[in-house]
């Protein structure tokens, strides 16, 4: 039996920011990370379901971690230890004081909190400067469903069993609450080269991007946009040694032809929040060669058609994550927020249809970890 009034009373002894939202939901916004495990201990003893942020919740505690704002850069390892409530755009601004940067941030990510971006795995779209396969997330600090604080090992690579950091990232709070993370940073660049190519279609732009990546030319930005009758592919190469970018840009031009003028505007659009576009958006993870097939669902690019053909999807642009697949970002034209578990990957709804028999194992794992389903109940269909 959940006793929210009792839980409120206990939480107020720990932190001041406790507010009833309704008869069934209490909002708690802790001031310090140390307060959270103590509050969660009470949630567990009261068997109160809990979520972070805007996750679905019918009764229980809604945590707002936005007051957790500490950052601690490690300028030797080029890593920042950052609390979950810091928004990526704000983190970037604060890093500048240390002459550090996360790299170019896709516009729509700037307002994401670190915790939210990791829980939903959108952090994965942060730029990679020097090699496409590297993951910007080094380690996590999480509170597990048994109330214990778990710090994953901040080693650059491990062979110490399964990668629990990657398992937790993208688990949308079902396996633990992300309190802080270590993310890769770069020294702010002293030089950069930008380029833009005009291509006939978005698919052609995607294939051209793959060509660059396959040649080992990793770009901090690789972004394609569809325009009437053509597509633009923009690339940004940066680092501390101009001679390297020059060589890489020459290589890129050898592959794709001479670059066009004024790439900067396109690159800027990558990093600018596109407020005119409705949110939320859906994201699909598409192999390059399937871009045409997805676009063919909606030859006229109308939101109505796309909404009907590929639920929740509308205007399209592309961002690289690897030479194998890319993200197709699509903003929904629907007024209501889609639950995170309704995100689409490769056009298939997450859940049993994607994971097949492994889904049952995932459910069994969730039962073992959180037998009363108190953490992010219902997210990911678990």
Partner 1 sequence: MDTLLHQALLGLVGAENFSEDPEDKLSYARDLWPRNTLLARGGAPPQYPPEAVVWPRDAKQLSALVLLCRANNMPFVPFGAGSGVCGGTIALRGGLCVDMKHMKRLLWSDAERGLARIECGINGEILEESLNRRGLTLGHFPSSIYCSTLGGFLAARSAGQLSTKYGKIEDMVVSAEVVLPDGSIVEVGAERPDLLQALVGAEGTLGFFTQATMRVHPLAEERLLRGVKLPDVEAGTRMIRELLHAGIRPAVVRLYDELDTWMALAGGKKDPEQKSEKSEGSILEALRQRLPEDKITRAAFSFALQLAPQVGFLADAGPKLLGAGCLLILAFEGTKRVAQAEEAAALEIAGRLGAKDLGRSPGEAWLQKRYAVSYRLSKVFQAGAFADTMEVAVTWDRLLPLYDAVRHALQSEAVVMAHFSHAYHEGCSIYFTFSTSAPDTQSSLERYDRLWKRALNAALAVGASSSHHHGIGLLKAGHLRAELGPGGFLLDALKQGFDAQHLSNPGKLGFQK
Judged by CB under 8 A, the residue of 42, 210, 331, 377 near partner 1 is 210
Choice between 45 and 187, CB closer to partner 1 = 187
3-state secondary structure of 277: coil
Q: Is the dihedral of CA 342, 33, 124, 358 positive or negative?
A: negative
Count Cβ atoms within 10 A of the Cβ of residue 118 and give its class: 0-12 exposed, 13-18 middle, 19 or more buried: buried
Min dist. Cβ of residue 356 to partner 1 (A): 5
Long-range contacts made by residues 257-264, C-beta under 8 angstroms, separation at least 24?
Answer: 257/197, 259/195, 259/196, 259/197, 260/196, 260/197, 260/198, 261/196, 262/196, 263/194, 263/195, 263/196, 263/234, 263/235, 263/236, 264/194
Choice between 89 and 381, CB closer to partner 1 = 381
Choice between 111 and 163, CB closer to partner 1 = 163
Judged by CB under 8 A, the residue of 17, 44, 46, 167 near partner 1 is 167
Choice between 186 and 223, CB closer to partner 1 = 186
Residues of this chain, 10-49, that bind partner 1 according to CB under 8 A: none
* Residue 346 binding partner 1, by CB under 8 A: yes
Helix (H) / strand (E) containing 316: strand 316-320
Min dist. Cβ of residue 23 to partner 1 (A): 33
Count Cβ atoms within 10 A of the Cβ of residue 296 and give its class: 0-12 exposed, 13-18 middle, 19 or more buried: exposed
| CA distances from residue 234 to 128, 165, 219, 285, 309 in whole angstroms, order as listed | 15, 32, 10, 20, 29
* Residue 1 binding partner 1, by CB under 8 A: no
Q: Which part of the chain contacts partner 1 (CB under 8 A), choosing from 95-103, 258-266, 274-282, 349-357?
A: 349-357
| CA distances from residue 66 to 87, 90, 92, 277 in whole angstroms, order as listed | 8, 12, 16, 25
3-state secondary structure of 90: helix
161: its two tokens: 């069993």
Judged by CB under 8 A, the residue of 250, 272, 279, 302 near partner 1 is 250
Count Cβ atoms within 10 A of the Cβ of residue 333 and give its class: 0-12 exposed, 13-18 middle, 19 or more buried: middle
Judged by CB under 8 A, the residue of 58, 76, 261, 276 near partner 1 is 76
* Residue 148 binding partner 1, by CB under 8 A: yes
Residues of this chain, 112-131, that bind partner 1 according to CB under 8 A: 121, 129-131
x-or-dash string of contact with partner 1, 283-312, rule CB under 8 A: --x-xxx-----------------------
Judged by CB under 8 A, the residue of 88, 221, 318, 380 near partner 1 is 380
Helix (H) / strand (E) containing 251: helix 242-256
Choice between 247 and 308, CB closer to partner 1 = 247
Q: Is the Cβ–Cβ distance between 360 and 382 less than 8 Å?
A: no
Q: Which part of the chain contacts partner 1 (CB under 8 A), choosing from 4-12, 44-52, 198-206, 232-240?
A: 232-240
Q: Half-sphere exposure (CA, 13 Å, Cβ side) for 278? A: 13
* Residue 358 binding partner 1, by CB under 8 A: yes
Residues of this chain, 256-285, that bind partner 1 according to CB under 8 A: 285
Residues of this chain, 45-74, that bind partner 1 according to CB under 8 A: 74
By DSSP bridging, strand 316-320 and strand 325-331 are antiparallel
* Residue 98 binding partner 1, by CB under 8 A: no
* Residue 5 binding partner 1, by CB under 8 A: no
Min dist. Cβ of residue 237 to partner 1 (A): 9
DSSP string, 120-155: TTGGGGS--SS-TT--SEEEEEEE-TTS-EEE----
Q: Which part of the chain contacts partner 1 (CB under 8 A), choosing from 20-28, 84-92, 170-178, 330-338?
A: 170-178
Judged by CB under 8 A, the residue of 151, 264, 301, 372 near partner 1 is 151
* Residue 204 binding partner 1, by CB under 8 A: no
């Amino acid at each position: 039996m959940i006793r929210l009034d009792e839980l409120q009373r206990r939480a107020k002894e720990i932190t001041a920011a406790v507010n009833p939202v309704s008869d069934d939901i209490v909002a708690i916004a802790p001031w310090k990370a140390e307060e959270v495990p103590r509050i969660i201990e009470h949630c567990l003893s009261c068997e109160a379901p809990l979520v972070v942020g805007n996750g679905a919740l019918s009764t229980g505690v809604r945590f707002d971690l936005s007051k957790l704002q500490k950052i601690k850069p490690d300028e030797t390892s080029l890593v920042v230890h950052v609390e979950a409530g810091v928004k990526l755009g704000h983190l970037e601004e604060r890093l500048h004081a240390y002459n550090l940067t996360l790299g170019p941030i896709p516009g729509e990510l700037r307002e994401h909190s670190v915790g939210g971006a990791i829980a939903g795995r959108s952090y994965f779209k942060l730029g990679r400067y020097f090699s496409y396969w590297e993951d910007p997330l080094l380690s996590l600090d999480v509170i597990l469903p048994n109330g214990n604080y778990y710090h994953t090992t901040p080693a650059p690579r491990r062979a110490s069993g399964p990668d629990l950091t990657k398992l937790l990232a993208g688990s949308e709070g079902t396996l633990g609450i992300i309190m802080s993370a270590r993310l890769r940073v770069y020294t702010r660049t002293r030089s950069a080269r930008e380029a833009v190519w005009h291509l006939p279609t978005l698919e052609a732009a995607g294939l051209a991007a793959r060509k660059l990546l396959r040649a080992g030319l990793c770009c901090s930005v690789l972004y394609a946009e569809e325009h009437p009758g053509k597509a633009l592919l923009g690339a940004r190469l940066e680092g501390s040694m101009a001679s390297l970018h020059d060589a890489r840009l020459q290589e890129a031009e050898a592959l794709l032809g001479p670059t066009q003028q004024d790439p900067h505007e396109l690159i800027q659009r990558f990093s600018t929040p596109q407020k005119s576009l409705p949110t939320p958006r859906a994201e699909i993870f598409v192999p390059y060669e399937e871009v045409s097939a997805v676009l063919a669902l909606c030859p006229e690019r109308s939101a109505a058609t796309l909404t009907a053909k590929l639920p929740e999807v509308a205007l399209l642009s592309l961002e690289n994550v690897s030479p194998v697949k890319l993200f197709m970002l699509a903003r929904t034209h629907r007024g209501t927020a889609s639950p995170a578990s309704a995100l689409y990957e490769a056009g298939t709804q997450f859940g049993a249809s994607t994971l097949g028999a492994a889904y049952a194992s995932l459910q069994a794992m969730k039962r073992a970890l959180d037998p009363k389903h108190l953490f992010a109940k219902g997210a990911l269909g678990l």
